[in-house]
Structure 1
Amino acid sequence: MPMQLRTRNILAAAILSAGVVLGATAADVNTAIDKGVSRVNSAQASQQKIDSIDNSIRAAEREYRGVVKEVDGLKVYVEQLDKQLAAQDNELAGIEDSIEKVTLVERQITPLMLRMIDSIDQFVKVDVPFLVDERSKRVEGLKALMGRSDVTVAEKYRKVMEAYQAEIDYGRTIESYRGTLDGREVDFLRVGRISLMYQSLDGNVLGVWNSAAKQWEMLEPAMKSKLMAGIRIAREQAAPDLIKVPVAAPQEAK
């Protein structure tokens, strides 16, 4: 049964009962019923409107709380970003300072490396003449390297230091290698930088470099066995042992 009809019946029954007691007329009863129904309908409409407004308010409140929560989260996120930006600014300032220092170091170290290469070049020319081609090519390679823009200063410095280390190692190692001397193929024996000797492949010609005179000198045949022993040791064909080598007499420093 519809709500309005049910309400009307209930009101009608109540008013009829009252009308009987009070002796009211039928017209009065109908009028009272209509007014009651109107008031009930108005009350229902008002309640529905109130319920609708209440639902809207609750929805708006939930949305507001969600927005407030999101804003709080954004505030925390923005604060964290501000901290990161501050840290990045400090790091950027440090990087810029390092770049300036690197640029200054590069301007200072490049002339130094050029002087170091010239020193190696001059040293090779006045040193004991062993592996002359190899050592000269190393120096020329360093000079060419310094002119390249695609190689970093750090790499250039590393190559220069490698060349210096190689020259240092020559002074404390023993080595035998094959080469040519005056158009003749010979076996050289280098003992550090204190002695550089050679013998022809047939073993009949022996020689030693005289550092004082800056020239090769012949060795007596008695040195052949000692020279051969040194060559075998240098080539790791014999166990390390003491050997006698000719050494130029020390000169008085000027």
Structure 2
Amino acid sequence: MFALMCFLASSALASSSTQVRDLETSAQQQAIQIQQQLEQLDTQRRQDFEAWRQARRQLLLLEAHNERQAAWNARLAEEVQSLQEQLDGLDATREELEPLMLAMLERLEGFIRHDLPFQREARLHRVREIRALMQRVDVSHAEKLRHLLTSYRQEVEQGRLLAVSREFIRPDATTEERVTLLRVGRIGLYYLSEDQQRAGVWSATSQSWLALNAAQRAQVQAGLAMAEERGLPQFVDLPLSVPLREATGQGATE
């Protein structure tokens, strides 16, 4: 009886132990499954979060791009408007520019004709060339204005030069002869004959050549030597071609 009871007890314990092991195994498997499900959920959550973050980043980039595009479009619209206004005013500017250039050319020609008579024909020829250029439709206003301003600059520069030239003049208003001209800016114009025996000064008041005496002729020769860099700088005492008041005003202007 005792042995039977021990056997039954031992069988019960074995069965209970087996059940416990089964329960533990089942619990472990469930735990593993739950852990796997949690890991899957966590992975999915991370993936969803990363997808949301990417979408958010794209949205922010798109908004920033749209803002830049809107600003660029606004600036472009302003530039187009500005260009349009300039184009609208360009025709009016051209209409005003052409008569202005013609008036400037007329003043330039008048100035040359009333200026000291040096290289007059060459300077008037330049005016005629510009006038012919003004009539051409295949030349832009900018090119016409460039030639006109170049001539103005050349005339202004003439007023600052000590220059020598060989030209034909009429010392006595009847006979034309080749002489050497000495020009001191626009305040003095003198000639020396080829034989160096006669000299004269241009008088803007009388619009004629006035003869110089022997001492003054020597001064013209000294001035020519300085202008041609054949002598040392020195003081030259010669009468002016223009009245002192006019010469002073002109010098101040230039």
Q: Shorter-chain TM-score: what band? A: 0.5 to 0.7
Match of 2:172 in 1: none
Taking the aligned partners of 2:157 and 2:42, their CA distance within structure 1 comes to 94
Match of 2:165 in 1: 177
SS state at 2:149 partner: helix
SS state at 1:203 partner: coil
Match of 2:107 in 1: 119
Give the partner amino acid of 1:243. Answer: D
Give the partner amino acid of 1:82. Answer: A
Match of 1:4 in 2: none
Q: Are 1:189 and 2:182 counterparts? A: yes
What is the correspondence of 1:128-143 to structure 2 with a 5 Å cutoff? 128-143=116-131
Match of 1:229 in 2: 222
Taking the aligned partners of 1:195 and 1:118, their CA distance within structure 2 comes to 25
Match of 1:203 in 2: 196
- Residues 227 and 245 of structure 1 are in contact (CA less than 8 Å); yes or no, is this contact kept in structure 2? no
- Residues 226 and 245 of structure 1 are in contact (CA less than 8 Å); yes or no, is this contact kept in structure 2? no
- Residues 229 and 243 of structure 1 are in contact (CA less than 8 Å); yes or no, is this contact kept in structure 2? no
What are structure 2's unaligned runs of at least 5 residues?
Answer: 1-7, 16-27, 170-174, 245-254
Q: Are 1:75 and 2:63 counterparts? A: yes
- Residues 206 and 218 of structure 1 are in contact (CA less than 8 Å); yes or no, is this contact kept in structure 2? yes
- Residues 230 and 243 of structure 1 are in contact (CA less than 8 Å); yes or no, is this contact kept in structure 2? no
Give the partner amino acid of 2:223. Answer: G
Taking the aligned partners of 1:50 and 1:171, their CA distance within structure 2 comes to 99
Q: CA RMSD in A?
A: 4.3
SS state at 2:221 partner: helix
Taking the aligned partners of 1:170 and 1:195, their CA distance within structure 2 comes to 12
Which of structures 1 and 2 has the larger relative contact order (alpha carbons within 8 angstroms, sep 6+)?
2
Taking the aligned partners of 2:141 and 2:62, their CA distance within structure 1 comes to 45
What are structure 1's unaligned runs of at least 5 residues?
Answer: 1-16, 25-39
Taking the aligned partners of 1:194 and 1:105, their CA distance within structure 2 comes to 38
Structure 2 vs 1, CA of residues 52 and 113 (structure 1 numbering), >3 Å: closer, same or farther?
Answer: same
Structure number, greater radius of gyration: 1
Q: Are 1:108 and 2:96 counterparts? A: yes
Give the partner amino acid of 1:94. Answer: S
Deviation at 1:187, TM superposition (A): 0.8
Structure 2 vs 1, CA of residues 247 and 209 (structure 1 numbering), >3 Å: closer, same or farther?
Answer: closer
Match of 2:237 in 1: 243
